[in-house]
Structure 1
Amino acid sequence: MNVIRTAIGLMSGTSMDGIDVALLRTDGRGFIERGPFLGVPYDADFRGQLKRALELARPLHDRNERPSELREIELELTLRHAAAVTAFLERFELSPDAVDVLGFHGQTVLHRPDEGLTIQIGDGPELARRTGISVVYDMRANDMVHGGQGAPLVPAYHAALAGKFQQAGQSVCFVNIGGISNLTAISSDGRISAFDSGPGNTLIDQWVEMQTGRTYDPGGEIGGRGKVVASLAERYLESPFFRSNVRRSLDRGDFAPLRPGEASLEDGARTLAHIAAASIIKSADFLPETPSTYIVCGGGRLNRTLMAEFSTMAERLGSNVLTAEETGFDGDAMEAEAWAYLAVRSLDGLPLTFPGTTGVGAPVSGGVLAKP
Structure 2
Amino acid sequence: MNKAGGATRGGGKVMRALGAMSGTSLDGVDAAILDTDGERISAFGASAYRPYGEAERSVLRAGLGQWLGDPVTRAGVVVDAAHIALLGEFETPDIVGFHGQTLAHDPRGKGTLQVGNGAALADALGCPVVWDFRSDDVRLGGEGAPLAPFFHFACAKWIGASEPLCVLNLGGVGNITYVDPRFDGPEEEGALLAFDTGPANAPINDFMQMRLGQEMDVDGALALRGTVATGALELFLQEPYFSRMPPKSLDRNDFPEMIELVSELSDADAVATLTAMSVAAVVQAMEHMPTSPKRMLVTGGGRKNKVLMEMLSVSTGCPVEPVEAVGLDGDMLEAQAFAYLAVRVLRGLPTSGPSTTGVRALVGGGTISRP
Residue 40 (str. 1) matches residue 50 (str. 2): yes
Determine the structure 1 residue equivalent to 2:26: 16
| Distance in 2 (alpha carbons) for counterparts of 1:284 and 1:214 | 32
**TM-score, normalised to structure 1's length?**
0.91
Query: Aligned ranges for residues 102-181 of structure 1 at < 5 Å?
Result: 102-115=96-109, 117-163=111-157, 168=162, 170-181=163-174
| Distance in 1 (alpha carbons) for counterparts of 2:226 and 2:220 | 10
Q: Secondary structure at the match of 2:133?
A: coil
1:164 Cα deviation after fit: 5.9
Q: Deviations over 1:8-37 (max 9, x none)?
A: 101000001100011001000023311121
1:165 Cα deviation after fit: 6.6
Determine the structure 1 residue equivalent to 2:186: none
Determine the structure 2 residue equivalent to 1:333: 332
1:181 Cα deviation after fit: 0.4
Query: Aligned ranges for residues 180-191 of structure 1 at < 5 Å?
Result: 180-187=173-180, 189-190=182-183, 191=191
CA change 1:246–1:174 in 2 (3 A) is closer
Residue 296 (str. 1) matches residue 298 (str. 2): yes
Q: Deviations over 1:89-145 (max 9, x none)?
A: 2xxxx3x2xx11110000000100112600000011111111112110000011111
1:246 Cα deviation after fit: 4.4
1:334 Cα deviation after fit: 0.2
CA change 1:337–1:34 in 2 (3 A) is same
Residue 264 (str. 1) matches residue 263 (str. 2): no
Determine the structure 1 residue equivalent to 2:69: 67
Q: Secondary structure at the match of 1:105?
A: strand
Equivalent residues of 1:138, 1:367 under 8 A apart: yes
Equivalent residues of 1:116, 1:149 under 8 A apart: no
Structure 1 runs, 4 residues or longer, greater than 4 Å off: 164-167
1:67 Cα deviation after fit: 2.3
| Distance in 2 (alpha carbons) for counterparts of 1:72 and 1:244 | 35
Query: Aligned ranges for residues 73-112 of structure 1 at < 5 Å?
Result: 73-87=75-89, 89=90, 94=91, 96=92, 99-112=93-106
| Distance in 1 (alpha carbons) for counterparts of 2:197 and 2:165 | 16
* Structure 2 runs not aligned, ≥5 long: 1-10, 184-190
| Distance in 1 (alpha carbons) for counterparts of 2:270 and 2:241 | 21
Residue 205 (str. 1) matches residue 205 (str. 2): yes
Q: Secondary structure at the match of 2:130?
A: strand
Residue 361 (str. 1) matches residue 363 (str. 2): no
Which of 27, 51, 59 is matched with 2:61 structurally? Answer: 51
Which of 32, 35, 38 is matched with 1:28 structurally? Answer: 38
Equivalent residues of 1:9, 1:341 under 8 A apart: yes
1:70 Cα deviation after fit: 2.1
Supply the RMSD in Å over aligned alpha carbons: 1.5
| Distance in 1 (alpha carbons) for counterparts of 2:41 and 2:56 | 37
| Distance in 1 (alpha carbons) for counterparts of 2:27 and 2:285 | 26
Determine the structure 1 residue equivalent to 2:370: 371
Q: Deviations over 1:56-113 (max 9, x none)?
A: x1xx4xxxxx4244223212210110001123x2xxxx3x2xx111100000001001
| Distance in 2 (alpha carbons) for counterparts of 1:145 and 1:32 | 32
1:166 Cα deviation after fit: 6.6
| Distance in 2 (alpha carbons) for counterparts of 1:71 and 1:131 | 21
Equivalent residues of 1:165, 1:171 under 8 A apart: no
Determine the structure 2 residue equivalent to 1:63: none
| Distance in 1 (alpha carbons) for counterparts of 2:12 and 2:245 | 39
Equivalent residues of 2:157, 2:181 under 8 A apart: no
| Distance in 2 (alpha carbons) for counterparts of 1:326 and 1:224 | 24
Q: Secondary structure at the match of 2:207?
A: helix
Number of equivalenced pairs:
352
Which of 300, 305, 308 is matched with 1:306 structurally? Answer: 308
Q: Secondary structure at the match of 2:356?
A: helix
Q: Secondary structure at the match of 2:293?
A: coil
Equivalent residues of 2:263, 2:270 under 8 A apart: no
| Distance in 2 (alpha carbons) for counterparts of 1:122 and 1:248 | 24
Q: Secondary structure at the match of 1:278?
A: helix
Q: Secondary structure at the match of 2:88?
A: helix
**RCO comparison, higher one (Cα < 8 Å, 6+):** 2
The amino acid of 1:172's aligned partner reads: L
| Distance in 2 (alpha carbons) for counterparts of 1:68 and 1:238 | 36
Q: Secondary structure at the match of 1:114?
A: coil
| Distance in 1 (alpha carbons) for counterparts of 2:247 and 2:355 | 10
CA change 1:208–1:145 in 2 (3 A) is same
| Distance in 2 (alpha carbons) for counterparts of 1:29 and 1:275 | 36
Q: Secondary structure at the match of 2:20?
A: strand
Residue 235 (str. 1) matches residue 235 (str. 2): yes
1:295 Cα deviation after fit: 0.3
| Distance in 1 (alpha carbons) for counterparts of 2:353 and 2:159 | 21
1:171 Cα deviation after fit: 1.1
| Distance in 1 (alpha carbons) for counterparts of 2:58 and 2:234 | 31
Identity across matched positions, percent:
37
